[in-house]
Structure 1
């Protein structure tokens, strides 16, 4: 067990340039946690690779790195329902593991999904570990990405799939699709409009929300026909509403999930990449995926996407 770390501070914000609204103690939670509720990974931290990484990156040791996150994705990052001062999920534990390997602590800045990249680009946070798909468009916003997982999208519908949705295709014609603001699926769904119209059908309507939970509520209330997100997230919502929700399809998207860091901060970026390599080779990432029931979580080699 590593030495107990101090509780983490969470800064609440409404946007990338929003004023600070409140500060309160907040931690992550894990089955391997210290007195602060924070996940610790002593075996990883004591590995030869991590010891060497700390020696190579002494400026990271003893610091605190602020994670901009959108804590509304079950299995990945949510507020602990038993303690509103804690976050829990795969990405929370992964961030803890990286921090333990490199010798730094983690605190959080919760923001809207569309504000994740601007928050880091503006210097309000140091990194993003929040189930964010790594794309060139997002990288152009001022961050570099280090990939760690492949992307399998699920399509959430009501039980029985009454609209007969089969994927991101013309089966979406005439439907309303609930999506988070800033999701990569937004332009993919919108691109179906001309194809629908070419067949004499109505283009799909995209209804935008600030969180996954709001999207799901739109489906439950009959205000949307479908919602798209990581397949594990979709399965999680089905488990919560087994009599009301179902999965229409799984779609392999040409993206990877990545950790975002400020463009130009190569020391931090490269150290995170090296820590991820060790975490994957040790089997810890697979263990965390199993712990959080991310059955469709497939490792992606930690590679860097940079447009800078």
Structure 2
């Protein structure tokens, strides 16, 4: 069955997966308005880059869509309504630099292309990877690297996955229609051409089903965005990280704030992110959400993306 996740989100570092659960839990304040939330001042020169004739989805408000459900990237706060995490915090900071009030709109991840195209919201910050195909319809301002993680049961004999031969004959959980599925299929093709055993790919409706498959031994490995898997591993201790891979394998990959093509928002968004990088606020935000290794040195507007299939 096809995986119907409400998000596609990004990665975190090996050290995150290894962090003790108690320490990890204390590191994140998931309250609706934590006192530790970072803020930024308006920069008039950057705000001036906003197109004067842009038709906002809501007058006077920058509407940003985010698929909640995968901390530390994005999740619902303890009030069950406010979206918190790295992505919404970045969106709020960008809004402050631009001098705009920000409204976070929770969405299902699969809905973002139609919602953005139909102007239901002004931007999407939800781990959307930059691809050449997407660039035909959307603009991007990059803000984080994309990394996927291989996770196995905590007592699994599997200790390392680095290259195609390491997955030969394994039962692998991944998400349908994603880069991680593409990587799995390509590695399997390479293996079968080399005479190695094929993989068995498994798709699940939700995280609970995939967790049960790993715990019960019905599946050997899960390959999906590393951030939420690392969070879960740290909190439960039921799984362990045995390898990471660029979400754009064999190419490097980045995710970007996504806006409508030629809407005029990409340039000010990129400038705002670079201002946050230059002032050190971006680094503090990465550290706050334990995502430092995923940081980019510079935000770029529409850099080369993953090639078309």
> TM-score band, normalised by the shorter chain?
0.7 to 0.9
1:241-260 map, 5 Å: 241-242=236-237, 244-252=238-246, 253=249, 254-260=252-258
TM-score calculated relative to the size of structure 2 = 0.75
Q: Is the Cα–Cα contact under 8 Å of residues 68 and 106 in structure 2 kept in the other structure?
A: no
- The alignment status of 1:294 with 2:282, answered yes or no, reads no
Choose between structure 1 and 2: higher strand proportion: 1
Which stretches in structure 2 are left out of the alignment for 5+ residues?
A: 1-5, 8-29, 305-309
- SS of 2:127 mapped into structure 1: strand
Alignment of 1:188 onto 2:183: yes
CA contact (8 A) 2:171 2:220 kept: yes
* Deviation larger for 198-207 or 66-75: 198-207
Superposition TM-score, scaled by structure 1 size: 0.75
- Secondary structure of residue in 1 paired with 2:157: coil
Higher relative contact order (CA 8 A, sep 6+): 2
Say if 1:155 and 1:167, in contact at 8 Å, map to a contact too. no
Deviation per CA, 1:247-266, whole angstroms, max 9, x where unpaired? 0112245101211111121x
Inter-CA distance 55–260: structure 2 relative to 1 (3 Å threshold): closer
Q: Can you list the C-alpha shifts for 1:90-142, whole angstroms capped at 9, x where unaligned? A: 1110011011111232221311x3333343234333221112222223334x2
Aligned counterparts of 1:281 and 1:210: Cα–Cα separation in 2: 41
Alignment of 1:74-223 (within 5 A): 74-80=71-77, 82-102=78-98, 103-111=100-108, 113-140=109-136, 142-163=137-158, 165-209=160-204, 215-223=210-218
- Does residue 1:51 correspond to 2:54, yes or no? no
- Partner Cα separation in structure 2 for residue 28 and residue 271 of structure 1: 30
Q: What is the rounded CA distance, in whole Å, between the counterparts of 1:77 and 1:286 in structure 2?
A: 18
Query: Bigger shift: 233-242 or 131-140?
Result: 131-140
CA distance in structure 1 between the aligned counterparts of 2:206 and 2:282, rounded to whole angstroms: 26
The aligned length equals 268
Match of 1:284 in 2: 281
| Secondary structure of 2:119's aligned partner | coil
Deviation at 1:293, TM superposition (A): 1.7
- CA root-mean-square deviation: 3.0
Q: Deviations over 1:59-98 (max 9, x none)?
A: 6796223333221221110112x21111110111001101
